Amino acid sequence: MAKVELKYVMNDSKKIVVCGGGGFIGGHLVADLRRQGHADIRAVDYRPLGEWYQKFDDVENLVLDLQGKEACEEAVAGSGSVYNLAADMGGMGFIETNRALCMLSVLINTHLLMASRKAGVQRFFYASSACVYAAGKQLNPDVTALKEEDAYPAMPEDGYGWEKLFSERMCRHFTEDFGLTTRVARYHNVYGPEGTYDGGREKAPAAICRKVIEAKLSGKHEIEIWGDGHQTRSFQYIDDCVIGTQKIMQSENVTMPVNLGSSEMVTINQLVDMVEEIAGVKLKRNYNLKAPKGVNGRNSDNTLIQKLLGWQPSISLKSGLEKTYRWIYGEMKAKA
């Protein structure tokens, strides 16, 4: 992973806290902070330690339910910077059928902001989502890439998207009213190794990798695709997400929510094509038109982040999928 070079340097005398540190993105962020030499890191997650995707013995690992105010105060005590990646979420199959659970994540960010203000935290990062964007701008698979201003007038993804948009506003107002420096990134479909690939919370790249591997290992060369396969998305590899997250957190001029994603848009059918090529198979496609499929088109406009930070993703979708496929294949073979 490339070195993160920034103007603002965190105060190493204070702890860095990663909320959601047992999750997919959080685990990779903790791993990268360690690689950079940060010695005082606290990872917090509600899952039992044995269920964390990545866990490090030289990190302070806390199991806390961050929906509670007292738990948030314990999580951020003595810290200088807080990354909030904690949320009850998953792929489209989860967020379309668990809207109340997704909305309850508003308690996490609210209580973390309150606790961070009380503890004198220097900087606070909130992981938002492309699901905040107005549904009316995502009706066509040949979608115009979404700019940051396209979140308003507000009509986000029901449940999950509303929680993210509300929490963005909370960050803004804690900055305006209380002087807490906050940074917000809108993640666009992050994927990669060391994450969920089955069980209902996985996202499209991992789900398709798993389905192709299942078809290859079983010899039943068929795959079920949710929707008609024409819906479009852009997908960002985890290493790019982790670097971009830190650049945004430590920037002096990214004071508004900003897209963090790839602008390499593909259809779901094209995504399947890529994974089939990696696997060396060709599958019969069965389209489930009743399954959750989300909006018809979504893509990230990276104009603002390129202007403010000179940043853009460095890992192509094909390259990232190869790494992801190999990891999932290894996991599935080990469990077979």
- Position 261 scores a pLDDT of 97
Q: Could you confirm whether 325 is annotated as catalytic?
A: no
Give this prediction's pTM: 0.93
Kindly report, residue by residue over 90-127, the tens digit of the pLDDT: 777 888 889 999 999 999 999 999 999 999 999 999 99
Place 13 in a pLDDT band, splitting at 50, 70 and 90. low
| Per-chain mean pLDDT for the chain | 94
- Position 1 scores a pLDDT of 53
- Residues 255/8, Cβ–Cβ less than 8 Å: no
Q: Give the 3-state secondary structure percentages of the chain, helix then strand then coil, rounded to 5.
A: 40, 20, 40
Annotated domain spans of the chain: 15-192+236-262+301-314, 204-231+266-298+323-335
In the chain, % of residues over pLDDT 70 = 96
Kindly report, residue by residue over 51-102, the tens digit of the pLDDT: 999 999 999 999 999 999 999 999 999 999 999 999 988 777 888 889 999 9
> Which numeric CATH code is attached to 204-231+266-298+323-335?
3.90.25.10
- Position 21 scores a pLDDT of 98
Lowest mean pLDDT among 134-138, 198-202, 239-243: 198-202
- Minimal CA–CA distance to 41: which of 59, 24, 25? 59
- Position 90 scores a pLDDT of 79
Lowest mean pLDDT among 86-90, 131-135, 159-163, 269-273: 86-90
Amino acid, single-letter form, for residue 287: Y
- Position 192 scores a pLDDT of 98
Which is catalytic among the residues 53, 83, 160, 329? Answer: 160
CB neighbour burial string for 273-303, b if at least 16 within 10 angstroms, e if fewer? ebbbebbeeebeeebeeeeebbbbbbbbbbe
Kindly report, residue by residue over 160-187, the tens digit of the pLDDT: 999 999 999 999 999 999 999 999 999 9
Place 8 in a pLDDT band, splitting at 50, 70 and 90. very low
Whether pLDDT at 200 is above 90? no
Average pLDDT rounded to a whole number, residues 251-264: 97
Structural tokens at position 142: 């040949």
Amino acid, single-letter form, for residue 127: A
Q: Quick one: CATH architecture of 15-192+236-262+301-314?
A: 3-Layer(aba) Sandwich (3.40)
Kindly report, residue by residue over 15-36, the tens digit of the pLDDT: 999 999 999 999 999 999 999 9
- Residues 313/236, Cβ–Cβ less than 8 Å: yes
Which strands, in side-by-side order, build the sheet including 79-84?
A: 60-63, 41-45, 15-19, 79-84, 123-129, 181-187, 258-260
Kindly report, residue by residue over 146-164, the tens digit of the pLDDT: 999 999 999 999 999 999 9
